[in-house]
Structure 1
C-alpha cells in the first residue's frame, strides 16, 4: 500500500491535499476546529503514521514513539459527524490525486476502520462520564 500511494512523497501530497480539504470544505469545519491553527506538525504526524500503517517505514515510531490511535484522540469527542467529515476530506483528497479507482476505494475502506474505532472509543468514553 505504501508503494502504491507513492511512498513518502505520495503520502505527503495526500496529506497536504487532505488538510487543504479540511481548510476549505464547510462540512469539515467541525474537525478543523479540533486542530491547531498551524498544521505543520499535524501534517507531519499524519504522513508519518500513514507510512507505517501502509507497510512502509515506521516513521511515526522513529520520530514520536509508539501510537495508540484511540488514545491520541481520547481528549476529543468524535461522533459520526466528525468521523464522516474526516472521511470526506480523505475521499476528496484521493479524488484529486492520480490513483487508480480501485486503490482509492481500498484505501477509504481501510481508513474507515481506524476512524470508526476512534468514534466508538470516544462514544463509549463519553457515555461512561457522569452528567
Structure 2
C-alpha cells in the first residue's frame, strides 16, 4: 500500500467512489474515457474493439465500476454477474492493449482534474484486473492456435 493510499483512504469502503464524485462523477469519468478513446488515434483501436453503438459498453463500465469502487453493485442488478477476464476472453489483449487501456484511463482521470494521488491509486488498482484480463485472453487465444 502506498503512502497516498494509506493517508487518503482510497480502497476503503466507498472512499474511492466518493473521491471520483459518486455515480455522477463516475459517469462523467467513463464518458470522458470513451470520448478520449474515440478521439485519440493511439487509443482508437480499443474503441473499435467495442460493439456499436457504444452506449451499452459505457453503461456497463459505469455500473461495474460503481460496485468495484465500493458502491452498490449496480452491474449485477441490471446485467447479472460478471467475470471480467471471461467477459473479455474473446478479445486479443496483450501488453500493448493493456497498457493503452490503462494510459487512456489515466488521461481521462487527469483530464478531469482529479488529484494526482487518486489518479495513481486508480491506475494501480485498474492494473490488477487488466493484467488478469490479459492473462485469460492470451491463454484463450493460445489454446485456439
Normalising by structure 2, what TM-score? 0.86
**C-alpha separation in 2, matches of 1:29 and 1:79:** 16
Which of structure 1's runs of 4+ aligned residues deviate more than 6 A?
Answer: none
Equivalent residue for 1:39, pick from 54, 65, 75: 54
Partner in structure 1 of residue 85 of structure 2: 70
Question: Once the 2 structures are TM-superposed, how far is the Cα of residue 11 of structure 1 from its aligned partner?
Answer: 0.4
Question: Once the 2 structures are TM-superposed, how far is the Cα of residue 27 of structure 1 from its aligned partner?
Answer: 1.2
Question: Once the 2 structures are TM-superposed, how far is the Cα of residue 36 of structure 1 from its aligned partner?
Answer: 2.3
Equivalent residue for 1:3, pick from 5, 18, 26: 18
Gaps of 5+ in 2: 1-15
**C-alpha separation in 2, matches of 1:79 and 1:85:** 10
Partner in structure 1 of residue 107 of structure 2: 92
In terms of mean alpha carbon deviation, does 93-102 or 13-22 score higher?
93-102
Cα root mean square deviation, aligned:
1.0
Gaps of 5+ in 1: none
Partner in structure 1 of residue 130 of structure 2: 115
Normalising by structure 1, what TM-score? 0.94
Residue 72 of structure 2: SS of its match in structure 1? Answer: coil
Partner in structure 2 of residue 106 of structure 1: 121
* Count of matched residue pairs: 130
